[in-house]
Structure 1
């Protein structure tokens, strides 16, 4: 595994660690402003990842899966970051501090809408990460060194289409309500 792969792993771990730290400071230690400040540091993780990847490629590295994951990760982080933090926030409040409402399990049309919103965020992530990949390919201008980017874009496109189809299917076959009645 190369250096960039380790940085990506470190950034992913850092992303969730910063969320956990920010939520702990916010709710356990009742420091809402400091918790918000810590959560606001998350984009810094993305910048570090982008800089390390760019430097490595600039200095002649051949793009690997790790290099191609960096723009993907940045697109996903920017498109889903706020919703991932909100998701973690709701569960932290309910399961850890026992103060928030129980997270809702959506069913039917609300679930279909929520799923489609997630798929549209995925489209946004693709619209951010895809051009970043294409820009790096253009900037490096060495097709043999950037071949992995083509594979990533192809796979990501397939995954995006599958995601959209699954979300659309919930409008046709909605998620049932699993309320069980004890007789």
Structure 2
């Protein structure tokens, strides 16, 4: 049930975002679009409630429950950024807004290190959810899989740090345009 809930919530998250942006830019209904965009974080709350109810109802934790915690942590921290990313592209495509900028050099490296901090916060949120679920269920036999998700959080953060280090050592080159290098 939990894996299905994760998939449904992920689909609902993107339906809310794409539907909201479509309403805003294509249908020219900005209020309706904003209402749909506000639904995106509520979907995370629904997933958290479903996971907690599943475990409180006697279910044994599986890797799906750990994945749900990781998904919620990432969605809370990166959700606004994903919406802004999609919004910029919709604005460019449907409303004549400026083309999205491709960062390079120091600006891209700084963004990568900012992602390390964001991922650290996502890891803390996911770890807090995992710890909260372990405490809520209070049955080590049923929550062993949840405790097994903590090392995954460490691996995710380590990969993010390595990614930032790679762009520190080898900065991203500006994109080539017909008139020369672009970006900054």
Same fold by TM-score greater than 0.5: yes
Aligned twin of 2:41: 43
Aligned twin of 2:182: none
Aligned twin of 1:141: 138
Aligned twin of 1:4: 2
Distance 1:40 1:31 in 2: 14
Q: 1:58 aligns with which of 49, 56, 59?
A: 56
1:180: how far off?
A: 5.8
SS at match of 1:40: helix
Distance 1:180 1:41 in 2: 39
Per-residue displacement from partner, 1:111-161 (whole Å, max 9, x unpaired)? 101112122111111111111101111221222211111221101211211
Instruction: List gaps (5 residues or longer) in structure 1.
Output: none
Q: 1:173 aligns with which of 152, 170, 173?
A: 170
Count of residues paired in the alignment: 179
User: What is the TM-score when the length of structure 1 is the normalising length?
Assistant: 0.91
Distance 2:39 2:177 in 1: 43
CA contact (8 A) 2:109 2:164 kept: yes
User: What is the TM-score when the length of structure 2 is the normalising length?
Assistant: 0.91
CA contact (8 A) 2:23 2:30 kept: yes
Distance 1:46 1:155 in 2: 20
Please report the RMSD computed on the Cα atoms of aligned residues, expressed in angstroms: 1.6
Q: Which runs of 4+ in 1 moved over 6 A?
A: none
CA contact (8 A) 2:70 2:123 kept: yes
Aligned twin of 2:123: 126
Distance 1:181 1:74 in 2: 42
Aligned twin of 1:17: 15
Q: 1:150 aligns with which of 147, 150, 166?
A: 147
Describe the shift of the 1:181–1:35 C-alpha distance in structure 2 as closer, same or farther (beyond 3 A): closer
